[in-house]
Amino acid sequence: MGITLERKLRSDIVGGLADPFQKKAKGRAVKMNYNEFPSPCYVVDEDLLRKNLEILKSVEDRTGCHILLAQKAFSMYATFPLIGQYLDGVTSSSLFEARLGCEEMGKEVHIYAPAYREDEFDEILKYSGHIVFNSYTQWIKYRDKVKACGKHVECGIRINPEYSEIETDIYNPCFTNSRMGMTLKNFEAHDFEGIDGLHFHTMCEQNSDTLWRTVQVVDEKFGKYLKNLKWINFGGGHHITRDDYDIETLVKSILFIKEKYGIEVYLEPGEAVALNTGFLISTVLDVMENGMEIAILDTSAACHMPDVLEMPYRPNVIGAGQPGEYQHTYRFGGPTCLAGDIIGDYSFRDPLRPGDKVVFCDMAIYSMVKNNTFNGVNLPSIALFSEAEGARVLKTFGYEDFKSRL
C-alpha cells in the first residue's frame, strides 16, 4: 500500500539526493556518528529544532500572537525546556498531555477534547489554564466546576466552520457528519455567556493561503461573535517551518483578525515545531530476493513509524534515491509478521549488507507519540544530538515496557 503512494501531503520533501532537503538533511546527519546510538533510535537534532523555534518566535514577535506546541505531534519532553524558551506553552488532547506539558514546560496549558471524562475533569482543571469544549452540552456540564475551581480558567468553544481544503477524510475535521466542533447552525441556537474564545482546527500540513481563505470563512460566519471575546485559536496544521511556507500571508491572516476584533490569536502547530528535526537510525538485518531485492530492517513501519502506513507516505532516507535512480534498489520491510509492514522502495549506489545503517528523515513528529510494541518488537531508543553536546541517549526500552501494558 504505502509503497506505491508517494507522501501526498508532505510531497514537498519527497525525492532523491538531488532534492535540496535531502542535501540539507544529509549535511546534518553526516555530522552524527550513527554508531554512537543504539539501533533503532529516534534522534532529535536540537540545533534543527532551535531553527524551527526561531521561525515560530519571529511570527510571535511580528504579530503578538501566541504559539503553542501541540503535544499530540511531539511529546519528547526532554526538549520542552528548550521549546519553552521560544513558545508560550502547550496544547493538549488529554489529561495526560496536559499534565506532561504543565510539569515539563510549566507555561500556558490549553486542552481540547471532543468530550471530557467526569472522573478526570478536576485534574484537567488543575493542570490547564484554557479549556476548549466541543459542544454546548459539555460547556453546560462543566462550567460550574470551572467557576468554582479557585483559579481563573479561560473557556472556549470549538467551532466547525464547515470549510476545509484537506482532501483525506481521516485528517479532515469538516467532513460530512464530523464530530469536531459546532457548526454555525448549532452555535447560533445557544447562548454562550461566560465563554472567552473560539477555536477552529481545519488544516493539515497546509500553507498560509489556505489559512487566509479559512479565516475569511470564519470571519464571515462567526465574526459577529468575535468582538465580545478575548481570543481565537487557529488550531494546527500550519506548516510554518517548511521551506516554501509563506510567512507573510500567515502574518496578514493573524493581523487581520487581531486588528478587526481586538482579540488575541493563538496558533497551536504540532508538526511545524519539530518538522524535519528528527531521524530514525536503523540497521539492516538481512537482504533477500523475491522479484526484487528486499532488505529487512530492525525498525518497523507498523510499530515505529505508523504514519507511513496510515497516511500513507514514503519517508526520505539519507543517501538513497528513488527506486531505479541508483544501481541497487531495495524494498525496506520491518521485522514483524504483518505482510504490509513495508516502508518503501529506495535505491543506493552500493549494495546493502547486514549491519549497514539506514537513516530515515523527519522522524520526530507523529512517531514517538504513536509507536507500539506490536509483535513484541521493542521500541526504538530516544536520543538527542547537537553539535555542541554530541550524542545523548536518553531512553532505551526493554521487555518490561512491553509486558507492563498487557
Ligand X SMILES: *Cc1c(COP(=O)(O)O)cnc(C)c1O
Q: What are the binding residues for substrate?
A: 271, 307
Task: Dump strand ranges (E) for 139-217.
Answer: 154-158, 197-199
The answer to whether the beta carbons of residues 361 and 315 sit under 8 Å apart is yes
The answer to whether the beta carbons of residues 211 and 235 sit under 8 Å apart is no
- Considering the complex, what minimum distance in angstroms separates the CB of residue 157 from ligand X? 13
Q: State how beta strands 357-361 and 390-395 pair.
A: unpaired
Which listed range, 43-51, 66-74, 182-190, 215-223, lies at the site for ligand X (CB under 6 A)? Answer: 66-74
Residues of this chain, 83-122, that bind ligand X according to CB under 6 A: 91, 112
Among 2, 161, 235, 333, binds ligand X (CB under 6 A): 235
The owner of cell 484537567 is: 124
Nearest residue to 399 (alpha-carbon basis) of 373, 367, 381: 373
- Of 201 and 331, the one with the shorter C-beta distance to ligand X is 201
With b for 16 or more beta-carbon neighbours within 10 A and e for fewer, the 348-369 pattern comes to: beeebeeebbbbbbbbbbbbbb
- Of 39 and 210, the one with the shorter C-beta distance to ligand X is 210
Terminal CA-CA length for the chain:
29
- Of 72 and 331, the one with the shorter C-beta distance to ligand X is 72
Q: What are phi and psi of 74, to 5 degrees?
A: -155, 110
Binding of residue 46 to ligand X (CB under 6 A): no
- Of 166 and 352, the one with the shorter C-beta distance to ligand X is 166
Q: Fill in the amino acid letter for 77.
A: Y
Q: Count other Cβ atoms within 10 Å, centred on residue 66.
A: 18
Binding of residue 201 to ligand X (CB under 6 A): yes
Say how far apart CA 8 and CA 27 lie, in whole Å.
Answer: 25
Among 89, 101, 237, 380, binds ligand X (CB under 6 A): 237
- Of 69 and 295, the one with the shorter C-beta distance to ligand X is 69
Q: One symbol per residue from 340 to 379: x for binding ligand X (CB under 6 A), - otherwise; what is it?
A: ----------------------------------------
Which listed range, 3-11, 67-75, 281-289, 301-309, lies at the site for ligand X (CB under 6 A)? Answer: 67-75
Binding of residue 236 to ligand X (CB under 6 A): yes
- Of 266 and 346, the one with the shorter C-beta distance to ligand X is 266
Among 41, 53, 70, 174, binds ligand X (CB under 6 A): 70
Q: Fill in the amino acid letter for 352.
A: L
Residue 291 burial by Cβ neighbours in a 10 Å radius (0-12, 13-18, 19+): exposed
Among 65, 73, 280, 363, binds ligand X (CB under 6 A): 73
- Considering the complex, what minimum distance in angstroms separates the CB of residue 135 from ligand X? 15
Binding of residue 2 to ligand X (CB under 6 A): no
Among 204, 265, 305, 318, binds ligand X (CB under 6 A): 204
- In DSSP terms, 279 is beta-bridged to 43, 361
Residue 163 burial by Cβ neighbours in a 10 Å radius (0-12, 13-18, 19+): middle
Say how far apart CA 184 and CA 244 lie, in whole Å.
Answer: 33
Which listed range, 54-62, 75-83, 145-153, 232-240, lies at the site for ligand X (CB under 6 A)? Answer: 232-240
- Considering the complex, what minimum distance in angstroms separates the CB of residue 267 from ligand X? 9
The residue count for binding ligand X (CB under 6 A) is 15
Which listed range, 229-237, 245-253, 254-262, 283-291, lies at the site for ligand X (CB under 6 A)? Answer: 229-237
DSSP string of 340-393, one letter each residue: T-EEEEEEESS---TT-EEEEES-STTSTTT---GGGPPPPEEEEEETTTEEEE
- Considering the complex, what minimum distance in angstroms separates the CB of residue 239 from ligand X? 8
Residues of this chain, 255-274, that bind ligand X according to CB under 6 A: 268-272
- Of 55 and 296, the one with the shorter C-beta distance to ligand X is 55
Which listed range, 2-10, 235-243, 369-377, 380-388, lies at the site for ligand X (CB under 6 A)? Answer: 235-243
Looking from the CA of 236 toward its CB, the CA atoms found within 13 Å total 24
The answer to whether the beta carbons of residues 78 and 118 sit under 8 Å apart is no
Binding of residue 182 to ligand X (CB under 6 A): no
Positions that interact with ligand X (CB under 6 A)? 70, 72-73, 91, 112, 201, 204, 235-237, 268-272
